[in-house]
Amino acid sequence: MKHAFIFGTTIFLSEQRTLTVNDGNNSTEFLRILTYYNEQKGNINQPLRIDAHIATTDGKALNITDNAVADRTDIRVELSDFRIKIFQAGHQEPVLDVYQMDKHEFHGLSSHILNEIHAQEPDRVVNIKGNFNVGEVHFFIENEKMFVDNNGYANGVVNAHHGVILSPVDHDFD
């Protein structure tokens, strides 16, 4: 099964459903897709479910286990079958937004991303946005760009043979 992860205008294609950060010394898994949304005709639909281990930009740990946040009264979770949004109190933009796209939504994507989706035919396409930390590494992901500390990603295609590994330092992980 092939998965596509979109961060701004960069697409990563992988057979693994995990996201990892490598700071140059250590690798830390920070997001895992437990289940993708799967519409079941005649049965209960299976929603998108995740585990995530991140921190808010003020450095407070934020652990999400099967879409639930523990020990944080300042965090609000918005859930649907195909999306999870995590908000910190007083903030308009989500700390983390994980959205499983439906095929009819692909037409609005950048042409290079759309071309890769058509060529590689991933089983699921997930768009990830947010403003959070993993350890000492800061992530800022919006519609047009992604920054991992000062390392910017834009308009790229990455075949992530060893899983999606993001880094604030320049490394070739393929």
DSSP per-residue letters across 125-143: EEEEEEEEEETTEEEEE-S
The C-alpha atoms of residue 72 and residue 60 are separated, in whole angstroms, by 9
The C-alpha atoms of residue 116 and residue 105 are separated, in whole angstroms, by 15
Q: What is the pLDDT of residue 169?
A: 77
Where do the domains of the chain lie? 3-166
Per DSSP bridges, beta strands 61-65 and 137-141 are unpaired
Q: How many residues does the chain have?
A: 174
Q: What is the pLDDT of residue 83?
A: 97
**Six-digit token pair at 71?**
């020990």
Could you tell me which residues come within 8 angstroms of residue 144 by beta carbon, excluding any fewer than 6 positions away?
Answer: 8, 9, 154
DSSP state of 104: G
Are 152 and 6 within 8 A, CB to CB? no
The C-alpha atoms of residue 18 and residue 26 are separated, in whole angstroms, by 16
Sort 110 into a burial class: Cβ within 10 Å, 0-12 / 13-18 / 19+.
middle
Q: What is the pTM of this model?
A: 0.92
**Six-digit token pair at 48?**
């998108």
Q: What is the pLDDT of residue 45?
A: 75
Tokens 């590494």 found at = 137
Alpha-helical segments (H) within 11-165: 111-120
**Six-digit token pair at 95?**
């700390």
Using DSSP, state whether 105 is helix, strand or coil. helix
pLDDT along the chain (174 residues), means of 10: 94 96 92 89 80 96 94 92 95 96 91 94 96 96 92 90 86 46
80 phi and psi angles, rounded to 5 deg: -140, 180
Q: What is the pLDDT of residue 171?
A: 47
